[in-house]
Structure 1
Amino acid sequence: MFKNYIKTSLRNLWKRKLFTSIHIIGLGVAFGAAILLFIVAANQLTFDDFHINKQTIHLLSLEQHRAQKTDFSDNMPVPMAPAVKRELSGVTAVTRVMGGMVASRQGSKELDLGINYVDPSFLQMFSFPLISGNTRLALSGPEQVVLTENASQKLFGTTATLGKPVQLNADGVWKTFVVSGILKDLPNNSSIRFDVLVRFENAGNYRSNADQWGNLNHNVFVQLREDMNPQRFEQSSHAFINKYFAEDINTLTRDGGKPGPDGQVISLRLISLPDMHFNKTTSIGNATSIVFPWLLIVLSIFILFIASTNFINLSLAGSFTRSREIGMRKTLGAGRAQILTQLWGEALITCLFALTLGGLLAQVLLGYFNAEMRSVLTFSVLFSPKVLAWFLVLFLAVTAFAGGYPAAVMSKFNTILTLKGGLKMNSKNKLRNVLISTQFVIAILLITSTFIISSQMRYLRSKPLGYNKTQVISIPVGTGPDGESVLKLMRAKLAAVPGVLAVSGTDNNLGRGKDGSSRTSVIGFDYHNREIKTHWQRVDYDYLETLDIPLLAGRDFSRDFDDSASVLINEKMAQQIGGKNQVGTLLPIGDGHNLVVIGVVKDFNFKSLHKDIEPLTMSIRAENAPQYIYVKVKPDDLAGSMKAVTAVWKGVNPSAKADPTFLEENTNRQYRNEEMMTTIFTSGAILTILISCMGLFAIALFIMEQRTKEIGIRKVLGASVPGIVQLLSKEFARMVAVAFLLAAPLSWWLMNLWLQNFAYRIHPQWWMLLTGGAIVMAVAMLTVGVQAVRAALANPVRSLKTE
């Protein structure tokens, strides 16, 4: 019986090859896009999902209630983890995690690797599987090191390296470690990233910070007992926080800080591991908004909905050509359930073919997507039980919606009426019109959103940042060479290079370079009985000249003076400490030392445009070596200058891993998620229009065929071709107009919600909304108009003969 259903379904699909091809191609393209979007969304939603203990592992964060706002920080002091394990109940394990880069050496090979300084419990708390070694013993000694497969291959050329020595450069000193474990390479959806693990005691300044509660420089993870409620743990930590952070609490209270809802000025908060990737207050990984993956899922559902409505409309339209077949089956004794099963079976087979086509398209497009978005997504994320279940439910929902409804409608056809051929398609079909109008709403929404997102991205790229980003080359020094020595050598070498105008250095990059780094440093100090917080940056001579940052008052750092106790501040910092011109002001920064303000610079965006400009203090003290070298070049030959500067850099540091980049590239990399969103929305809008046009074209064709005799009579009675075209098109124009009235305010609201993520933003204009509606109207009228003109130009004599 089942075999007979399949045979009959395949035979019927083959008989209507064109009709079937439209279904398969339309649904196949939609499935391909949905699979691709689903992979991206699933990769985001399953971040850190591979850890067995994920539900009991939490990141510690401090909530501080200041006078004007509430701050969150996941940076902790060195003695925090031992004290938490010792004094707070409900904790089964705790580990500190401090990330960074380290120079590694094995024989003649030397390379920079990502390092995490951790406690021995790290490998037992987190599920990073060892392929060799023991999780309990791998970090039992201070001179043991655990490598990932990739790091082991790069250093040794093999993963069989247990017991072998490797040298790491910590704070300028090479130290020998012994390989005690090899980890499988980390999944791409892991927030915690590293190549090398060593004991936390190897971190710089560990001993001097071992009992210091004022130096916050790393993260702490705790694993709670399964019976310990996180909220109860937070409440039980009040006395602990009051004991160890009493000085900070007094300072905040003095400056106007008020207790929060729990009665605490400073509270200990837990961020669960599954939520960490979507918490933007964390410093681990690249946190994003949870709206982004769900937006991708909604977009995939939109695309599938449009393809499904096409399927429904075309199936219902095509059903009128099969009415006699259905009537004959009923006459020969077929029951409604049998007809329903047969028709739904045809739809299911069509969907399976479409899914296969969609899978092949997604496979082809995934490589392009990875290259374009610089990602490493794979199909493997779809095969986790949870994701597979979601995808299966979505597929069955599509087949039930797209195939089940038309099958149910066709199975109810009146037998006598169908055999007489009296069943006709209703050109005023309400369901069809609702489905088509919904397609138009989605298309207008996506096109309008694409316009606004693209405009915001253009604004971000073109907005003046207060410094010269087009002529300045950024060179990451890396972990091997000494930054001071390299900067001096580069200055000397570049002095002879034509086109180089100025050279300087800094410890904090602007934007995000090819080394992937983007960091900042914030310090606080008491000034006139109130706490001052400022971003802290180590710069070198000629920094302002290299970046073309205007000096508003005072002077720049100069080789003619001893500026080791001098600082430059920006306008925001000047306002925070009392006014515009603060030249000569003494700032009590450091261990009882005062630093004098020698100049005030114009505010510039040293962070991304997601955030407003904050107070900044710049020092030239050599306690922090430059991590980046900036080279300003002439604007007439940027490509040639980049080539010349790169050649000098390779000569000075042949083992350099990261290439120089222009600051303009670095600043653009800060908006990678927004660029991905722009690409996805643009592609989604185009795809939506194409799929909608396919369905609209076919529906228009069916309607014109149904109204062939009417058109012939109108022409005989004197109707003009433009009049007939207008008559046949006005219903579709009305649907687009209704869709615009629904989509315009919705897209306006959603985009304003998204734009709130930026301190600097555009304001959506009315023409952006109108353009989205105009594009959809033009495409719809063109699609329908082709069929309308064709019907209007047909010979009325032939039209009147049509049965």
Structure 2
Amino acid sequence: MFQYLKIALRQFRKNTGFSALNILGLALGMACATLIVLWIGSEYSYNRFHKQYDNLYQIMESQTYDGKIFTFASMPGPFAAAAKQELPEIELAARTDWGYRILFSREDKMINEVGYFTDPDFFKMFSFKVLKGDTTGLLQDPASIAITDKMAERFFGKEDPLGKQLRANNDKLYQVKAVIEAPSRESSLRFSWLASFRIYEEQNAWLRGWGSNGIQTFVKLKEGTNTEALNKKLNGYIVAKDSNAAAHPFLLPMKDWRLRSNFVDGKQSGGRIQYVRLFSIVALLIILIACINFMNLATARSEQRAREVGVRKTMGAGRGGLIRQFFTETIAMAFLSMLLAALLVALTLPAFNKLVEKELSLDLSNPVISLGLPLMALACGVLAGIYPALYLSSFNPVTVFKGLKIGKNSATVYVRKGLVVTQFAVSIVLIISTIIIYQQIQHAKNRDLGYDKENVIYSGLNGDMNTRFPAIYNDLMATNVVENAALATSPVINIGSSSGNFSWQGKEPGSELLVSVLQVTPQFVPAMGMKLKSGRNFNDAITPDSNRIIINETMAGIMGKEDPVGKIITQGSSSYTVVGVVQDYIYNNIYNKPEPLILFCDTSNVFTMMIRLKATSDLKASLARVEKVVKTHSPAYPFEYTFLDAAFNDRFKSEMLIGNLSRVFAILTIIISCLGLFGLAAYTAERRTKEIGIRKVLGASVPGVVAMLSKDFIRLVALAAIIAFPLAWWFMNSFLSEYAYRVQIHWWVFALAGALSFAIALLTVSFQAIRAALTNPVDSLRSE
């Protein structure tokens, strides 16, 4: 083995340039793959710090409307306690709200913090680390609270927070009984505080009924529970409690919370696991391309090593020994590349973390690093070396000493060309995919939303702002910086409430329809810049229109072809008259077609104030005036707001992440491919030195020589494009088929990707070709 390493070192020194290209190409490929693997590992590690990870589940439920199954995470309030008592498979159960924002204050500090109201079993189920205090009985006491170490630092600094009090919403006092380590980014449940669910239950009487869904429910199953059998029990559990409820619960294991949380028509349809699979393939392709570089350069220089093989075989070396020698060289080179790759990862990791919004680290205690990198290096060494080792060791000594010449039509040349085509085909597919993903994001962002998201802010209602809104509205309009303002249950982009028991004349018997509902003040439609397709808006005075509703176009279409204005829609014992039809607008899922929607003129359940500012160059001054008005009516609370356009753009975070990653790795794939092309071009120019000299003596021009050396490579890139175009079209058409609103795939995307590939390849090859063409013919002929 030592002798093999000595020979490998000699080869490195003898061919420094080509060895450096090989090491750099492999290092780039391994660095890219390592970053991707770290990201994938982080995605798979979500929630795994919980000791009872394998037995923890969230209860989901499905409801069927008009033959379509909808899946929700919302559950009725009584479910957790009843299921724990009546189903022996369930050992523990805990409810939480959806993340409650409370204004906490202590002395001169006032900070909004998000946390959960939850049940006592929460601490028994989840392994959040308790740093100080005792959680026993904490969640049974409405006056006690647990806070995270980060929240403790914000309010108490270095003081011990245990036993101290915090005031919530300028009203209720909580005593800090425990300090918990803040959940990491790799936790699905993230919070700053935990308090007794009894408080939330007392504030929301609807939680006592089986027919109202609005909370999360988590359970821990007993070890060895047959989940399939339990799901059968759960399926009819809620209906047995309330025959009017159409909900059918089922278990979602913790391992699926992060990666497989999407459902279509009642079936799991993936989620972030699709991104994980996509980039797993990208990592493998990048490694493959890097290995192809090595194979190509090794086989291209085979004529130079042929005599070495012939001599060693004549001296008695067997083919097995030669194969081991060549494998030693490639594996040694792969491990050198691994060291460089580790350095590249360390240098780029901060920027990569910022891109993917994670806290990844090059930690040797992480098996992905301590075992993954060496195994990757070994795999790269074997993959990159297997073909050159088998090929070089097969040389016949007699043929070698007669003068080995590899013809243009030899199998080796075809293999080498095929590998170059593979490299560039992958690169072109990635370029096309990156462009189309970007187009799809922009298409969704720029489509007609049905409302105007610019110059709109929204803020939560505090104190008695709901009842004081008429006065607040007048004062806002008097500032001369506000165009309009309105209240709503939630921001316009997010409707979390729906109902299914609406009826109207002409409705098909047995038809069940899930309708989104939103309570608003009369100013809502004009404030959001929505367009009425027929009828009128609500009256300025709420009371006259308390039994009037506005529906969207989708709801109108379901009700029939006639204009629905004036028709009556009933819900239980209540009747509502349709006074207007508003253009469909986009909410919740930005890619799906709009669901049926009803707007109610009612302020009994509104929590959000939306303010449209006048267009101005001095936004800061406008916001200051708005804040002054709000603080006048709600002096005990800070004025916190969100820009609607920023909230809308946040809906694209996952897509933007995938687009950015695709762009980065597409560029790196091209760079790695070009390193190999650069090496092959250099070798070709070196091998044809004498031919170039003779052609120049006979009058060949520099452009002519460059064209001669470049044409074969350009043909390979052209072939790669021919292969890549249909593959990219099929792949991206499948990707876009999941979107109701999708961009069309245009021919110019393929033309652009092909042109970029040609330009990059030509630039890479031309550098070597021009250098060879400019060489003095005398020097070229003398070198032979």
Give the match's secondary structure for 2:224.
coil
Aligned sequence identity (%): 31
The change in CA–CA distance for 1:589 and 1:633 in structure 2 (over 3 A counts) is farther
Give the match's secondary structure for 1:588.
strand
Q: CA RMSD in A?
A: 3.4
* Per-residue deviation, 1:338: 5.3
* Per-residue deviation, 1:97: 2.1
- Matched with 2:226 is 229
Measure the CA separation in 2 of the matches of 1:742 and 1:39: 31
Once the two structures are superposed, the pairs formed by residues 767-778 of structure 1 within 5 Å of their partners are 767-778=748-759
- Matched with 1:406 is 388
- Matched with 1:255 is none
2:674 is the counterpart of 1:675: no
| TM-score w.r.t. length of structure 2 | 0.88
- Matched with 2:273 is 290
Q: Which amino acid aligns with 2:617?
A: D
- Matched with 1:65 is 64
Measure the CA separation in 2 of the matches of 1:223 and 1:560: 51
- Matched with 2:765 is 784
2:552 to 553, 570, 573: 570
- Matched with 1:461 is 445
* Per-residue deviation, 1:312: 2.0
Give the match's secondary structure for 2:418.
helix
Once the two structures are superposed, the pairs formed by residues 300-315 of structure 1 within 5 Å of their partners are 300-315=283-298
| TM-score w.r.t. length of structure 1 | 0.86
* Per-residue deviation, 1:115: 1.5
Q: Which amino acid aligns with 1:394?
A: M
Measure the CA separation in 1 of the matches of 2:622 and 2:282: 41
Deviations 1:712-765 (A, max 9, x none): 556677777666555544433332233223222221122122223322111112
- Matched with 2:190 is 193
Measure the CA separation in 1 of the matches of 2:44 and 2:555: 39
The change in CA–CA distance for 1:671 and 1:795 in structure 2 (over 3 A counts) is same
CA contact (8 A) 2:303 2:404 kept: no
- Matched with 2:501 is 525
Unaligned runs of 5+ in 1: 250-265, 512-517
CA contact (8 A) 2:61 2:248 kept: yes
Once the two structures are superposed, the pairs formed by residues 442-461 of structure 1 within 5 Å of their partners are 442-461=426-445
Measure the CA separation in 1 of the matches of 2:712 and 2:211: 71
CA contact (8 A) 1:324 1:419 kept: yes
2:338 is the counterpart of 1:355: yes
Measure the CA separation in 2 of the matches of 1:351 and 1:483: 66
Q: Which amino acid aligns with 2:45?
A: T
- Matched with 2:417 is 433
* Per-residue deviation, 1:794: 5.1
Once the two structures are superposed, the pairs formed by residues 605-754 of structure 1 within 5 Å of their partners are 605-634=586-615, 637=617, 639=619, 644=624, 648=628, 660-712=641-693, 725-754=706-735
Give the match's secondary structure for 2:262.
coil
Give the match's secondary structure for 1:203.
helix
1:539 to 520, 525, 528: 520
The change in CA–CA distance for 1:638 and 1:338 in structure 2 (over 3 A counts) is farther
- Matched with 1:256 is none
Q: Which amino acid aligns with 1:737?
A: A
* Per-residue deviation, 1:54: 2.0
Once the two structures are superposed, the pairs formed by residues 499-510 of structure 1 within 5 Å of their partners are 499-510=481-492
Measure the CA separation in 2 of the matches of 1:656 and 1:13: 70
* Per-residue deviation, 1:633: 1.3
CA contact (8 A) 2:332 2:381 kept: no
The change in CA–CA distance for 1:646 and 1:747 in structure 2 (over 3 A counts) is farther
Deviations 1:643-662 (A, max 9, x none): 55576479667897886454
Give the match's secondary structure for 1:222.
strand
Give the match's secondary structure for 1:55.
helix
Measure the CA separation in 1 of the matches of 2:255 and 2:684: 52
CA contact (8 A) 1:43 1:377 kept: no
- Matched with 2:738 is 757
Give the match's secondary structure for 2:426.
helix
The change in CA–CA distance for 1:98 and 1:662 in structure 2 (over 3 A counts) is closer
Give the match's secondary structure for 2:182.
coil
Measure the CA separation in 1 of the matches of 2:497 and 2:207: 21
* Per-residue deviation, 1:389: 5.2
Q: Which amino acid aligns with 1:771?
A: L
Of stretches 528-537 and 745-754 in structure 1, the one that deviates more from structure 2 is: 528-537
Unaligned runs of 5+ in 2: none
CA contact (8 A) 1:539 1:626 kept: no
Q: Which amino acid aligns with 1:523?
A: S
Q: Which amino acid aligns with 2:537?
A: D
The change in CA–CA distance for 1:544 and 1:613 in structure 2 (over 3 A counts) is same
Measure the CA separation in 2 of the matches of 1:371 and 1:139: 37
Of stretches 664-673 and 33-42 in structure 1, the one that deviates more from structure 2 is: 33-42
Give the match's secondary structure for 1:637.
coil
Measure the CA separation in 1 of the matches of 2:177 and 2:56: 25
1:217 to 214, 217, 224: 214
Give the match's secondary structure for 1:186.
coil
CA contact (8 A) 1:482 1:625 kept: no
Measure the CA separation in 2 of the matches of 1:56 and 1:195: 25
The change in CA–CA distance for 1:756 and 1:107 in structure 2 (over 3 A counts) is farther
* Per-residue deviation, 1:701: 1.6
CA contact (8 A) 1:551 1:599 kept: yes
Of stretches 520-529 and 792-801 in structure 1, the one that deviates more from structure 2 is: 792-801
* Per-residue deviation, 1:442: 0.4
Of stretches 314-323 and 766-775 in structure 1, the one that deviates more from structure 2 is: 314-323
* Per-residue deviation, 1:53: 2.0
The change in CA–CA distance for 1:490 and 1:206 in structure 2 (over 3 A counts) is closer
2:149 is the counterpart of 1:165: no
Deviations 1:377-413 (A, max 9, x none): 3226895547865555434322221245434544444
* Per-residue deviation, 1:208: 2.7
Deviations 1:169-198 (A, max 9, x none): 4xxx73233333322221212112211112
- Matched with 1:475 is 458
Deviations 1:220-278 (A, max 9, x none): 222222322211111233553441242235xxxxxxxxxxxxxxxx5432211101222
Measure the CA separation in 1 of the matches of 2:296 and 2:407: 11
